[in-house]
Amino acid sequence: MSLIEFIILALALSFEALIVMHGCALKNRIPLTRALAESFAIALINALLLVLGIWLGNLLRFTPADLDPDAVSTNSLWSDTDNLVYLGLMILVALRLLFRSGKRSRQVQPYDISRFSTAALLGVAIGINTLIVGLALGFRIPLADNVWRATLPLTVIMTLFALLGAMLGRQQKELRARRYTLFAVLFLLAFALKGAFWG
């Protein structure tokens, strides 16, 4: 997978951090320096969960570890099964996000993010989708060749998105959460279909 693909994936996964941090900062104003630190902590937790997911996917994949997945015939049972699992998990995450955006009011519970422990728990909560996406990726790509290309864009982009959400919340700016969630769904679906059918 190319760096551009990982950047698109990072964008899709980072919208949730933007929405959550905005909702929290609306009710609990925090200094921007603390918001930056907590945004980085949330992004770092998600990057670790992505790596964990890819590692687990590598363990569970049907294609034997000693075979290069690109060398396996596209018509082989192993390759087809890995692709189906990948596509199914990616669609699962997209449906989870779509279900949330379908609610009339996408209100975020305003947690007190003045403590790092709360930010860490938020990072884990946001990271459930990241873990599932990582698991899906593990059925398609080896971990060793993709650690930095997967984690670096996610860490940078999610930190910036979470910080932007906190800044907008501090200024009491309106945020159309449903629109951003739909962007995330479209990015994920495009990424999933491209990976499953066009390599």
Range of the domain at 147: 3-197
Tally of domains in the chain: 1
Lowest mean pLDDT among 20-34, 66-80, 106-120, 150-164: 66-80
Q: Which range (61-65, 130-134, 136-140) has the least confidence? A: 61-65
pLDDT value for 134:
94
- For residues 126 and 42, the answer to whether their CB atoms sit within 8 Å is yes
> What band does 43 get if pLDDT is binned at 50, 70 and 90?
very high
113 pLDDT more than 80: no
Q: pLDDT averaged over the chain? A: 83
Distance CA 58, CA 135 (A): 8
- How far is the C-alpha of 125 from the C-alpha of 162, rounded, in Å? 14
pLDDT in tens, 158-181: 999 999 999 998 888 887 777 888
Q: How many angstroms separate the CA atoms of 61 and 63, rounded?
A: 6
Greatest extent of the chain over all pairs of C-alpha atoms, in Å: 55
**What per-residue confidence (pLDDT) applies to 73?**
46
